[in-house]
Structure 1
Amino acid sequence: MADGKTVGYLQLAHNEWDPAAKASRTKVLYSFGREDQLDVAGIRRLVAALCRLLEQGEALVATAPAELRFTESKALGGAFALDGLWHALGIDAVMRRMLVTTRMEPRVERILFALVANRALAPSSKLGATRWIEHDVVIDGLDVPVVDESCYRAMDWLIDAEPELGRIVFDNTADLLNLEVDLLFFDTISTYFEAEDADAPVGRDERGMPVADASAAAKQAGFRTLGKSKDSRPDLPQIVVGMAVTRDGIPVRCWSWPGNTADSALIRQVKHDMRDWSLSRIVWVADRGFASAANRRYLQRAGGHYILGEKLRGGTAEADAALSRQGRYRHVADNLQVKEVRLSSDLAEDRFVICFNPDAAIRDAAIRARIVALLEEMINGSDTLSRDQRAELRGVISTKPGLNRYLRTTPGGLLRVDKKAIDAEANLDGKFLLRCSDPKPSAEDIALGYKQLLEVERGWRDMKSVIDMRPVYHRVEARIRAHVLLCWLALLLIRIAETKTGQTWAAIRDELQRLHLGTFTGPAGSFRQRTELTAGQKKILAALGLPEPRRIFEATPATP
C-alpha cells in the first residue's frame, strides 16, 4: 500500500494436477477478501453450513484444533431433572440438617440421591451402581468415585432417618403438587429371595425393627421368611412391602415387614405410623384383605373413614344380604355401573355399594366356560372307574381350586358338574362389593374412589418392572429395608415427574438421557460442555419448573 503497510488477502484454493503441463495448478474456489476486513460472521455461517454435511462427531473433530481431544461423555439430563425434584422436595436440605448431628460425612446425601437416581434410570446392584455413578452419569456434587462401603453406610443411616424424613417429604410433596389428601390407598405385595433358608428368629420393637436383647421366647420370625406369597413362590423366603398412595398416584410412604406378616394387621400399623402427619380428614381405601372388623374399628378412630372391598364368595352375612337385594344400577363412567343397597341397622351400619362391569362379566363367563369344559373332560367316563380310582381322580381335582369349585360328588360317589355352583357364580360375574363407613360421598364417588386403587397396583408394577425392586442383592435386614426405601423415593420422583409433565416416565427418561456432558482436553486445559437442548428436553424441564443446565460446567487450566 502507499503507506508502506502490507495487506494480506485470504483465498480458499485447491491444487489440481495438469497432466498436459505435468505440473500442479492452483485453482481459487473462494476469495475471503482482505485479511484486515475479514467477515468473521460470514465465515462462521459457512463453516456451520459445511458441518451439516458431516456426522456430529466428525464435525467436532474437523472444527477443533488438532490438539483438542474429546475424552469423555456422560448422561446428564435424567439425573439433572431428578436432582431438581429432589431439591424441590427439600430432601437434600432435610438430610443435610439431620447429618449435622451425626459423625457421617456430608456427601451421604449425595450418595443416597445417586442410588435413588440409579433405581429410576438404570437399576442395578450396589456394585453396578458405583460403576454407573463413576463412569456413566453426571451427579452434581459427587465427582469423587464412590465405593461400595460408602453406599452401605449411607443406607444404614437412611433406616434411622426414615421416620422424620418420610413425614417432611410428605408435607413438601403435598405443597409442591397442591395435593388434596382426603383419600389414601393402601396395598401390599410380597417379594421373594433366591435363598434356601429363611432368616433366624429375632426380637423386635414396637416398630417391628430387630433388637438384640430379646429372650428366646420373645423372638419372632426373621425378616426373610416363608409366608403367603403373592408371586406364586411359597417355596422361597420373602418379605412383605406396603405402600400408601394418594388419589393422584403419589406414593407418600412405604413400609416393609417380615414375610409371614398377615395383611389384616398391617393397615393398623400404617395408620398408627401416620397419626402425627398433617393430614386432613382421611378416607382409607384398601382391598378385601384388610376388611376385618378389627381393622374397620381402628380406621374409624379420630373420625377416620374407609372404603373397603368385600369378599363376594364365602364372605360375611352383610355381604350375602347386600348381594341378595334388588335394585337398579346407575351408570357411572366408562363401563362401570353402581347400585347402593341399604341393610337393616342391626345387621350393619356401613353402606354397601355393588359395582358391575358388563365387559368383565363377559370375560368371567368365558373363563368359567373354559374351566367347566376342562372339568367335564376330566370326569367324562369316570362312572366306569372303580370307587378307588374315582376317589383318586377326586383328589387330583381338589388340588385345583378353579376346577374343584364346580365339582360335586353324588351320594353314590359319582363325579358331576355342579350346576347350582355355576349358577351362583354366574350371578357374581363382573361384580365387586364395596363397604364404606362415610355417610357423605355418593355411591358413584365411592365406586370411583375404590377404582383409583389401581394407582397402587400401577405403583407395584413400576416397582417391579421400571425400578427393578427385585432381585434384592442384600442379606442383612437393615440393607433390605433401605433398598425398599430407595425404590420408594425413586418411584416418588418418577410419579411427580409424570404428574407435572403429563408424560410417561419411559418417554421422559428416554428424552432426557440424550442430554450429555462432554469433556474436552487440550494443551490449555480441559472443559466440560453439554450438548444442545432439544425441543422435547426444553419442554420437560419447563413443565418440571427447572432451569436449563448451564452450557459450560467447568473449565480447568492446564497445570504449568
Structure 2
Amino acid sequence: MAKVIHNFGRADKVDKAALGRLVGSISRFLDPDQAVAATRGDAADVQIVDARRMGGAFVLDALWGRLGIGDALRTAATGRRVDPDVVERVIFALTAQRCLEPGSKLACVSWAAQRVALLDCPGFDDQAAYAAMDFLLEAWPQIAKGVFESTAHLLNLTCDVVFVDTSSTYWEVDVSDEEIELGRARSAQGGDRADGEVVVAEGAVRQFSKHSKDHRTDLPQVVIAMAVTAEGVPIRCWTFPGRTSDQKIIRRIKTDLGELVAGPVVVGGRLGVQLGRQPDRAAGRWGRLHRL
C-alpha cells in the first residue's frame, strides 16, 4: 500500500530552492558517484542512435496527400510491374529532396537514408530511383489527370475557359542539342548514313530559332507553354523544341487538354495581363486568339 511521506504541492508552485536544499541534505549520506547516478535517474540507460530532420518533409507529405498526388501515383501504378506503395514513396522522396535540398538522384538516396525522416519510405538505391522515374514518364498522362481531378475538386476550380500562353528561354551554350546528338550518332555509326540522313534523337529540344522572345537568336532555346484556369491556377506546363511552330503547339495542347477540359481553350500573347477577365472581354484585347 502506497504511503505519502511528504506532499510537495503543485509542480508549478513548488519551492525549487527548498527542493535543492533537501536534495543536498540527502546527498551527504551518499558517495559522489551514487549522488550523480541518483540525479540522472534512468537517463543513463537512454542512448540516442539516430536523429533526423522531419519538419519540411512532414509538411510536404501532408500537402502531397491533400492534393491527391499520392493516390494518383498509386492508382496509375496498379497493374504495372512496380509496387504502388513503394514507387509512390520513392517519387515523393525525390520530390521532397528537390524542394528541400536539391541534388541528384544518387544524392537523394543518401539524403533519404541519413538526413531526413520520411514516413513509410523504405530504403532504396539509385536503381530504384531511376525505375520510379521511368514509371513516372510512362504513366504521367494518367497521373496528371488524377491530380487535376483531385485539385479541381479541392480548390473548386472553374475550367469552362482555359488560358494558354507561350514563351521561350535560352541557354548560354555553344551548340544545340541537335549538334550534340548528331555527333553521338556519327560516333556510334562511324559516320553519316548512306543516304546522307542522320536521325536526331527526340530529346534534342534546345534548338536555334529565328524567332526568340529574348532576341537571342544566337543561342539555342526551348519554347515553354502553360495553361491556367480563369482564376490563374496552373493546370499544366509543356516544353517544346526551340523551333516548334505555334500551329504544332496549339494542336499538342488541344490533344493533351482534351481529356481534362471540356470548355474552350484561349491561346494568346498577353496571358499575364488578361488573367481573371471574362473571355469575351479578353478577346477584344489580345493580339492573337485561338479557340480550340
Question: For the structure 1 residues 274 and 45, does the alpha-carbon distance in structure 2 shift closer, same or farther, using more than 3 Å as the test?
Answer: farther
Tell me which of 228, 233, 238 is aligned to 1:245. Answer: 228
TM-score relative to the length of structure 2: 0.66
Question: For the structure 1 residues 234 and 162, does the alpha-carbon distance in structure 2 shift closer, same or farther, using more than 3 Å as the test?
Answer: same
* 1:227 and 2:231 are equivalent in the alignment: no
Q: Distance in 2 between matches of 1:122 and 1:109?
A: 19
Cα offset, 1:436, TM superposition: 5.8
Cα offset, 1:97, TM superposition: 2.7
Tell me which of 287, 299, 308 is aligned to 2:269. Answer: 287
Question: Per-residue displacement from partner, 1:71-105 (whole Å, max 9, x unpaired)?
Answer: 44322222222222222333222322332322223
Cα offset, 1:253, TM superposition: 1.7
> Which amino acid counterpart does residue 253 of structure 1 have in structure 2?
R
Question: Per-residue displacement from partner, 1:135-175 (whole Å, max 9, x unpaired)?
Answer: 2222111142x322211111111111011111121111100
Q: Distance in 1 between matches of 2:196 and 2:41?
A: 74
SS at match of 1:245: strand
Q: Which residue of 2 aligns with 1:352?
A: 284
> Gaps spanning 5+ residues in structure 1: where?
1-6, 8-33, 48-61, 202-214, 289-306, 310-339, 341-349, 354-432, 439-560
CA RMSD of aligned residues (A): 4.1
Q: Which residue of 2 aligns with 1:114?
A: 93
Cα offset, 1:231, TM superposition: 6.7
The 10-residue stretch of structure 1 (92-101 or 104-113) with the greater mean CA deviation from structure 2: 92-101
Cα offset, 1:270, TM superposition: 0.6
Q: Which residue of 1 aligns with 2:119?
A: 140
SS at match of 2:45: coil
Number of paired residues? 244
> Which amino acid counterpart does residue 103 of structure 2 have in structure 1?
S
Q: Distance in 2 between matches of 1:46 and 1:187?
A: 71
Q: Which residue of 2 aligns with 1:200?
A: 181
Whether the aligned pair in 2 keeps the contact of 1:187 and 1:243 (CA below 8 Å) is yes
SS at match of 2:51: strand
Residues 454-469 of structure 1 correspond to what in structure 2 (within 5 A)?
A: none
Q: Distance in 2 between matches of 1:264 and 1:98?
A: 31
Q: Which residue of 1 aligns with 2:73?
A: 95
Q: Distance in 1 between matches of 2:14 and 2:268?
A: 64
SS at match of 1:276: coil
* 1:185 and 2:164 are equivalent in the alignment: yes
Whether the aligned pair in 2 keeps the contact of 1:82 and 1:117 (CA below 8 Å) is yes
Q: Distance in 2 between matches of 1:113 and 1:257?
A: 26
Cα offset, 1:64, TM superposition: 7.2
Cα offset, 1:286, TM superposition: 2.8
Q: Distance in 2 between matches of 1:185 and 1:253?
A: 9
Question: For the structure 1 residues 120 and 282, does the alpha-carbon distance in structure 2 shift closer, same or farther, using more than 3 Å as the test?
Answer: farther
Q: Which residue of 1 aligns with 2:253?
A: 270
* 1:159 and 2:91 are equivalent in the alignment: no
Question: Per-residue displacement from partner, 1:204-263 (whole Å, max 9, x unpaired)?
Answer: xxxxxxxxxxx9869456423422466777666554443222244432222233343234
> Which amino acid counterpart does residue 235 of structure 2 have in structure 1?
V
Q: Which structure is richer in relative contact order (CA contacts within 8 A, separation 6 or more)?
A: 1
Q: Distance in 2 between matches of 1:197 and 1:435?
A: 30
SS at match of 1:69: coil
> Which amino acid counterpart does residue 255 of structure 2 have in structure 1?
H
Identity %: 32
